[in-house]
Structure 1
Amino acid sequence: MLQKFDVNDRVLGQNMFINDEVQYNLIHRICESKSSNCLKTTDGTMVFAQSEGQNGWLWISKELAYDKKNNLLLELLEILKGSTLPGVTGDPIIVESFAQVYSEANNLQYFPHMTMEAYSCSEVRKPIHVNGELHRATRQNVETVAKFLAGFSDGAYGVMVDPASQIPAAEGLIGTGNLFLWYVDDQPVSMANIAHRSPRHARINAVYTPPVFRKKGYASAIVAELCLFLESEKLEPMLYADLKNPDSNKVYQNIGFVERGKIVDIKFFSR
């Protein structure tokens, strides 16, 4: 039996989920919104969380037997009948199994859009001999951040956008107080953002260095400094990295991030 829950539910604090929490950290953020569809089994062995119009995130305890996992997928399929699901995200084996039954039931096709590695860092290895210092982004940095966001969109997603179109997003990120820049000689050369804080972790994203400033250790330096900042808050830093980008994965590993599980993002489309 599936039932609704919110971010304060004990299902997100039980050991079964905590064991996979880094891998599924985004579920905390999804469940904070009242408009999200968040479902759990009564015994806490499965969680499904979907922001409106976005992929659903699907977690099933690794302790469950194969046949019980399949039964839960079929139950979820029945619950989601008639709803719109652009895709599903989670452990590669679990979401592949769900994508098969969901696509067959709804006359759809699916494809793996992105595979990510979830990382967490319990001990930071700060890079040495890197020039510069950390600054919190301010309103004076709006145009620079907009350019960085446009570059990030192109590099991470292959989507080219006009930097001017990113000004509202830049203003929003700066307004949170969680966007940081790495400065060298009074010039911003790299960017990173603290996207969200959950009970035990803080998620870093939007890590970007313009091509002209790369290979100088700036991305490593800014992420390492953010990790130290978060450790002072007694939160373990975590992030997701696209496995198609070996350079960024190596940067994170070199400063102490450890692999905590793969996440695949599957999209559905009409036949």
Structure 2
Amino acid sequence: MFVRWGQLHNDLETAPFIHDEVRYNLLHRITEIEDSLCLRSDNGQLLFAQSPGQNGWLWMARSLAGDEEKRMLQGLVNYLDGHSLPGISGAPQTAYPFAVEYSRANNLRHSTQMTMEAYHCPQVNKPSNVRGDASVATLQDVEVIAQYLAGFMEDAHGRTVEPESQLESARGLVDTRKLYMWRVDGEAVSMANIAHRSRRHGRINAVFTPLRHRKRGYASAIVAAVSEQLLQENLTPMLYADLRNPSSNKIYRNIGFLPNGQISDIGFSPN
């Protein structure tokens, strides 16, 4: 009922998936990661992808009827018997039924960790009257980036980490030349990262402005600048935003990002 698939296959190029591609953009990245588990149903109407140690992502075609959807979900639960799965991510109407069946089969509890809105930006509304400009991060920014990554971890995930623990990650981001800083009078006041480029989209993440620099339009400015860069490459910018953070969602919508559907992150834990 299920077969392996991956980066070299065309399962992410079908019309039903492309219709949902913004919401499920992360699947492109997961298929590139070595040792990811990628499964599809025989008819191609269900895709499952999980990088090692992370939540699985589950896509199902919208055309599936109720009984067929239930049968395929149960089949996937059975296929994953004995496989370590910390959680599931997907459209709420897909992720929740899977979570219920998987929890029942494995004597687990399930709870929603986060609900995100997936956005795409076909046209940028560039903010006006914001001082500064954008540039690619350099090695001179590493210590500041480490501080911002620590702040991002606390804001986005509620985890307190020391900036020193983020220095290696900061250097890695600089090396990719995909991390951009918004600078005012030479000082880096905000950042945004192009996490991944797929055939049609560029995914933005790690958007962060420290508290002392907020309410000045810097986050809007750096996201708009990065989005313009992607549009110049003929890629549509996209990103995920935690719905618990109305401020960031408002910023993205004002720049021109349009909602494209929600993703629920559901975690599993022992009973």
TM norm structure 1: 0.99
Q: Which residue of 2 aligns with 1:269?
A: 269
Q: Which residue of 1 aligns with 2:71?
A: 71
Q: Which residue of 2 aligns with 1:172?
A: 172
Trace 1:138-153 onto structure 2 (pairs within 5 A): 138-153=138-153
Trace 1:30-45 onto structure 2 (pairs within 5 A): 30-45=30-45
Shift of 1:42: 2.1
Q: Which residue of 2 aligns with 1:117?
A: 117
**Residue-by-residue CA offset, 1:82-105 (whole Å, 9 max, x unaligned):** 110000000111111000110010
Q: Which residue of 2 aligns with 1:94?
A: 94
Provide the C-alpha distance between the structure 1 equivalents of 2:262 and 2:6, rounded to a whole number of angstroms.
Answer: 25
Runs of 4+ aligned residues of structure 1 deviating over 6 Å after TM superposition are: none
Paired letter, 2:162? D
**Residue-by-residue CA offset, 1:10-58 (whole Å, 9 max, x unaligned):** 1100100000000000001001123000001122101000001110000
Provide the C-alpha distance between the structure 1 equivalents of 2:176 and 2:77, rounded to a whole number of angstroms.
Answer: 37
Secondary structure class of the residue paired with 1:259: strand
Q: Which residue of 1 aligns with 2:160?
A: 160
Provide the C-alpha distance between the structure 2 equivalents of 1:64 and 1:8, rounded to a whole number of angstroms.
Answer: 26
Provide the C-alpha distance between the structure 1 equivalents of 2:8 and 2:245, rounded to a whole number of angstroms.
Answer: 35
**Residue-by-residue CA offset, 1:147-173 (whole Å, 9 max, x unaligned):** 000111111111111001110110111
Q: Which residue of 2 aligns with 1:48?
A: 48
Q: Which residue of 1 aligns with 2:62?
A: 62
Provide the C-alpha distance between the structure 2 equivalents of 1:254 and 1:101, rounded to a whole number of angstroms.
Answer: 39
Q: Which residue of 2 aligns with 1:8?
A: 8
Q: Which residue of 1 aligns with 2:106?
A: 106
Provide the C-alpha distance between the structure 1 equivalents of 2:119 and 2:8, rounded to a whole number of angstroms.
Answer: 24
Secondary structure class of the residue paired with 1:84: coil
Total equivalences in the alignment = 271
Secondary structure class of the residue paired with 1:128: coil
Q: Which residue of 2 aligns with 1:210?
A: 210
Secondary structure class of the residue paired with 1:135: strand
Paired letter, 2:232? S
Q: Which residue of 1 aligns with 2:130?
A: 130
Provide the C-alpha distance between the structure 2 equivalents of 1:200 and 1:267, rounded to a whole number of angstroms.
Answer: 30
Provide the C-alpha distance between the structure 2 equivalents of 1:33 and 1:66, rounded to a whole number of angstroms.
Answer: 32
Paired letter, 1:102? Y
Q: Which residue of 2 aligns with 1:188?
A: 188
Secondary structure class of the residue paired with 1:199: coil
Secondary structure class of the residue paired with 2:57: strand
Secondary structure class of the residue paired with 1:239: strand
Paired letter, 1:147? Q
Q: Which residue of 1 aligns with 2:258?
A: 258
Q: Which residue of 1 aligns with 2:199?
A: 199
Percent sequence identity is 51
Q: What CA RMSD, in Å, does the superposition of the two structures yield over aligned residues?
A: 0.6
Shift of 1:135: 1.0
Paired letter, 1:151? G
Shift of 1:77: 0.7
Provide the C-alpha distance between the structure 1 equivalents of 2:205 and 2:215, rounded to a whole number of angstroms.
Answer: 19
Structure 1: unaligned runs, 5 residues or longer: none
Secondary structure class of the residue paired with 2:115: strand
Q: Which residue of 2 aligns with 1:228?
A: 228
